[in-house]
A and B are shown apart, each in its own frame.
Chain A
Amino acid sequence: MGNILNQIGIENYIFLSVVLFCIGIFGVLYRRNAIIVFMSIEIMLNAVNLLFVAFSTYHQDAQGQVFVFFSMAVAAAEVAVGLAILVSIFRNIGSISIDNLKNLKG
């Protein structure tokens, strides 16, 4: 099959993923529930993944897609750790709102 990007153009992909990435960022900035913050971060990562795939097709080169697997795996590991921390926090203070995490300051 011919390169689909010739019809659509890489820029659109870039814009799409940038938009997705920004959505993720804003999610992180404005949501107070830790879980949702995690999800926003996931959105950021996936935006990047999308772009990776797009670029790899654009360059006709598989490395990009391989890299996506790396990033997915890493993301998974990260989230695992994150959730673990979250659980212990929930055990200690019974809430998962990051607004409660203001004891360390000054």
Chain B
Amino acid sequence: MDTNLALILVLTPLLGFLVNVFFGKSLGKTASGAIGTVAVAISFVVSLLLFNQITSTGKGIQVTLFDWIQISNLKINLGFLLDQLSVLWLLFVTGIGSLIHLYSISYMHDDENMHKFFAYLNLFVFFMITLVIGSNLLVLFIGWEGVGLCSYLLIGFWHKNQDYNDAAKKAFIMNRIGDLGLLIGMFIIGSMFSTLDYATLKTAITGATNLNLPLLSLAALCLFIGACGKSAQIPLYTWLPDAMAGPTPVSALIHAATMVTAGIFMVTRLNFVFDLAHDVQNVIAIIGAITSLVAATIGLVQTDIKKVLAYSTVSQLGLMFLALGFGAYEVAVFHVITHAFFKACLFLGSGSVIHGLHGEQDMRNMGGLRKAMPITFWTMLISSLAISGVPFFSGFFSKDEILLTAFHHSIPLYVVGSVASIMTAFYMFRLMFLTFFKEFRGTEEQKHHLHESGSLITIPLIILAILATFGGLISLPGNSWLNHYLAPLFTKVAGEEHHLGTTEYTLMGVAVLGGLLGILIAYIKYFKQDNFPESDENITGLSKVLYNKYYVDEVYDAVFVQPINSLSKFFRDYIETGLSALVFGLGKVTNEIAFQGKRLQSGSIGLYLFVFVLGMCAIISYIFLAQ
């Protein structure tokens, strides 16, 4: 029963993928879109059933299919683990997934390769589910790389543009760097505990005496590198903004809601490993904080609407890692969920805007869309309030939890986090004001076609907006349903409930004020005194540095990419030729000797006989000498 359920859960998206790949074109656009959506919807329903079951029984379901890879001391089978965490993830992956599929039907309708788009989306959902429900690290790795592949395919979906292809390639390779870390981590864990299976691993570690902690920390660090790759943390974050080359639904699904949270998922999954590696936890916290700040600062000045959202995603992920670093996994998970709601909503909203403006993404050419597309405006406004941490929206609770945890552990990181969230509030409303208020700054031609998007686009927006509003209820401060739900996962007592004392309230107040402050600045800057960002050339000073993302890409290019390429040239042109010259050289030498030898063969009998006699005398005298 459970096996079948799990199989249905996994295989329906795969089926959708296959159908769309092989028959998509003949089915026609709407049909293939419908198939894709239904496939994911079914998985969603299944996950609801599973959720129901889990909550009732309260213990996870282990499904083992068959042996996969045998290695002398560890035996890896292809199996699934459906417990609180994975089912929770399933819910919003498939849920938001199906909404975005729905949205895409309309959004991608003008694209001739729509069936491929849905095929890839389904494939992504398939791999994402595998990632989430895998019962051991290697199955997770299938999904891990699989979603990477899908993101590669979808970023480069418009494959005629080589810049998009570059972005896709970049995403894949940077993920691969992380994956190597993940692999190494697996190797270490595998050789330490001779298992990669979560359950056995947990018992092994919790039960183990005299663990080799340094080695374990190394493993944890490697795993975290993997997480950095997938969840776009410093230093491997640069691919995510470029990934915005993909169609907007992709950005919403993969690069905001689901795939990028895989890192957080993995760390939460292996909490029992990370709990033992405190140094690594600190590293995680620091990296998270820095990432959130850096990304936020960059986000301040971006003018491409999707880039802004991208950087805000990076910074939000940073906040989540900040929480993870403090071992407050449930908090991170909480923020993952709320973030999934409002960020998906924001992306879809921006998509709807872009759709309305026929592909215009630069906010400098927008404005005044409030009247033209009200639903989009309102939904995005709600989400922006949520992300800015305005009270009683979902984001308020989750972000506040994180900041609270940070405050309890380390004041500096708390400050960093708060600054980042203030900035978030600022650039989010900067985005809102530039996009929806004032009068339209685009071309006349665009102005004529301004219109609210169709229902297929707006319905998901509305649903997500609702979720973004009330999502916070799952973990209210004081009595958190989520914490109880997740409690079985964690070895130590689930994150200490912040019983609401004065400190908490003051901190909340500070956070709220911060958020409002950010909004206020944005309001003054972009609404009262109507100045909007200049065109690229006359951006100057600090904002130029920010606008160019601290030149990180350039640095990476100069430090890693170029050297390797020139090394490759060097090898190709010198070492290779040199080596083969060496081999040919041997032949040449012998040939040269032969050429000299031909001289000796002069044809003169006298010489021949002379050598003859010489040889004879040599031999005879040798014999005499030997005696």
Binding site for B on A (CB under 8 A): 25, 28-30, 32, 98-99, 101-106
Report B528 CB to chain A, min CB distance, Å: 100
Do B605 and A104 touch across chains, with their CB atoms under 8 A apart? Answer: no
Distance between Cα atoms of A103 and B601 in the complex (Å): 11
Do B598 and A106 touch across chains, with their CB atoms under 8 A apart? Answer: yes
Do A106 and B601 touch across chains, with their CB atoms under 8 A apart? Answer: yes
Do B605 and A101 touch across chains, with their CB atoms under 8 A apart? Answer: yes
Distance between Cα atoms of A32 and B603 in the complex (Å): 14
Residue B5 CB within 8 A of the other chain:
no
Distance between Cα atoms of A32 and B609 in the complex (Å): 12
Do A105 and B610 touch across chains, with their CB atoms under 8 A apart? Answer: no
Do B604 and A99 touch across chains, with their CB atoms under 8 A apart? Answer: yes
Residue B602 CB within 8 A of the other chain:
yes
Do A102 and B613 touch across chains, with their CB atoms under 8 A apart? Answer: no
Do B602 and A102 touch across chains, with their CB atoms under 8 A apart? Answer: yes
Which residues of chain B have C-beta atoms less than 8 A from A104's C-beta? 603
Binding site for A on B (CB under 8 A): 598, 601-606, 609-610, 613
Distance between Cα atoms of A106 and B605 in the complex (Å): 13
Which residues of chain A have C-beta atoms less than 8 A from B601's C-beta? 105-106
Which residues of chain A have C-beta atoms less than 8 A from B606's C-beta? 29-30, 32, 98-99
User: Given A29-B606, A98-B606, A106-B601, list of 6 further CB < 8 A pairs?
Assistant: A29-B609, A30-B606, A98-B605, A104-B603, A105-B601, A106-B603
Which residues of chain A have C-beta atoms less than 8 A from B613's C-beta? 25, 29
Set A29, A98, A103: member contacting B610, Cβ < 8 A: A29
Distance between Cα atoms of A47 and B598 in the complex (Å): 36
Which residues of chain A have C-beta atoms less than 8 A from B604's C-beta? 99, 102, 105
Distance between Cα atoms of A43 and B176 in the complex (Å): 91
Interchain Cβ contacts under 8 Å between A and B, 8 examples: A28-B609, A32-B606, A99-B604, A101-B603, A102-B604, A103-B603, A105-B603, A105-B604
Report A47 CB to chain B, min CB distance, Å: 15
Distance between Cα atoms of A25 and B612 in the complex (Å): 11
Do A102 and B603 touch across chains, with their CB atoms under 8 A apart? Answer: yes
Distance between Cα atoms of A102 and B605 in the complex (Å): 8
Residue ID in chain A nearest B599 by CB atoms: A106
Which residues of chain B have C-beta atoms less than 8 A from A98's C-beta? 605-606
Residue ID in chain A nearest B597 by CB atoms: A106
Which residues of chain A have C-beta atoms less than 8 A from B609's C-beta? 28-29
Report A85 CB to chain B, min CB distance, Å: 13
Residue ID in chain B nearest A98 by CB atoms: B605
Distance between Cα atoms of A25 and B620 in the complex (Å): 16
Report A30 CB to chain B, min CB distance, Å: 8
Which residues of chain B have C-beta atoms less than 8 A from A102's C-beta? 602-604
Which residues of chain A have C-beta atoms less than 8 A from B598's C-beta? 106
Residue ID in chain A nearest B605 by CB atoms: A98
Residue ID in chain B nearest A28 by CB atoms: B609
Residue ID in chain A nearest B598 by CB atoms: A106
Residue ID in chain B nearest A105 by CB atoms: B603
